[in-house]
């Protein structure tokens, strides 16, 4: 009896040798291709993008919004980084800087354009992205979207009590504007309960009592 008959697996390999070799070759090519892509394209591109955004970050810290967006003639602005390094972490972060900078310039449509496509694992940045996007929606009278995002920003990162209380407070104020008094009171009570040490938490009763005495 041959070895292939003694061992069914060997018999299978012998019978399907070409298919098995093709699968192995495909796996090797896939793994090798990913390694080459990662080491010789993705990583160097990420490094270049990270270097490119460094100066824009400095301008962002200085509230120089136009320089953040368009650069200074020598260094790229975030709009160029988004275009030239699409798919990189730096290009994603550049969307945050672009959205926030446009908001400071009063361009709410572009604020929405860039921030609605931004996401990050960094909660401190993400909560501010949600909040700024909510502000832009509110300023363009898109109140439903604004309210949803204010609530999201107010509950997304509760460890940051001040920021959370600010966005929940804006949600409550917007509920007032929309005439949803009971919903506004509920949010003020939530702020008072969860963030009593913040300015908004300590002032919550004032707003609750004002709404309760309204005819």
Q: How many CB atoms lie within 10 A of CB 22?
A: 11
User: Of all residues in the chain, what percent carry a pLDDT higher than 70?
Assistant: 82
Q: Are 213 and 185 in contact (CB under 8 A)?
A: no
The string of pLDDT tens digits covering residues 34-56 is 444 345 345 667 888 899 999 99
Q: Which alpha helices (DSSP H) does 140-203 contain, by range?
A: 143-156, 161-177, 181-194, 199-202
Q: Where are the domains of the chain?
A: 119-215
State the average pLDDT over residues 96-114.
Answer: 98
The string of pLDDT tens digits covering residues 188-214 is 999 999 999 999 999 999 999 999 876
The string of pLDDT tens digits covering residues 118-128 is 999 999 999 99
- pTM for the complete prediction? 0.81
* Residues 98-123: b if buried by 16+ CB within 10 A, e if exposed: bbbbbbeeebbebbbebbbebeeeee
**Count of residues in the chain:** 215
Token digits of residue 167: 């966005």
Could you confirm whether domain 119-215 is CATH 3.40.50.1370? Answer: no
Kindly report which listed range (28-32, 34-38, 145-149, 164-168) carries the lowest average pLDDT score: 34-38
Distance CA 108, CA 86 (A): 23
């Amino acid at each position: 009896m041959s070895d292939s008959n003694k061992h069914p697996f060997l018999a299978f390999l012998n019978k399907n040798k070409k298919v098995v070799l093709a699968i192995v070759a495909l796996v090797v090519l896939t793994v090798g291709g990913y390694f080459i892509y990662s080491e010789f394209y993705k990583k160097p591109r990420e490094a270049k993008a990270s270097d490119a955004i460094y100066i824009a970050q400095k301008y962002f810290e200085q509230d120089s919004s136009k320089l953040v967006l368009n650069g200074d003639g020598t260094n790229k602005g975030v709009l160029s980084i988004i275009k030239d390094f699409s798919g990189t972490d730096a290009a994603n972060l550049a969307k945050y800087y672009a959205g926030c900078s446009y908001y400071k310039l009063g361009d709410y449509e572009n604020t929405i354009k860039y921030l609605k496509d931004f996401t990050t694992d960094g909660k401190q940045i993400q909560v501010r992205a949600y909040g700024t996007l909510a502000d832009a929606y509110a300023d363009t009278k898109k109140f439903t979207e604004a309210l949803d995002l204010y609530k999201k920003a107010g509950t997304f990162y509760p460890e940051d009590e001040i920021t959370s209380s600010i966005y929940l407070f804006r949600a409550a104020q917007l509920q007032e504007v929309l005439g949803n008094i009971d919903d506004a009171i509920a949010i003020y009570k939530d702020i008072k309960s969860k963030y009593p040490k913040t300015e908004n938490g300590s002032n919550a009763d004032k707003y609750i009592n004002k709404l309760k005495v309204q005819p």
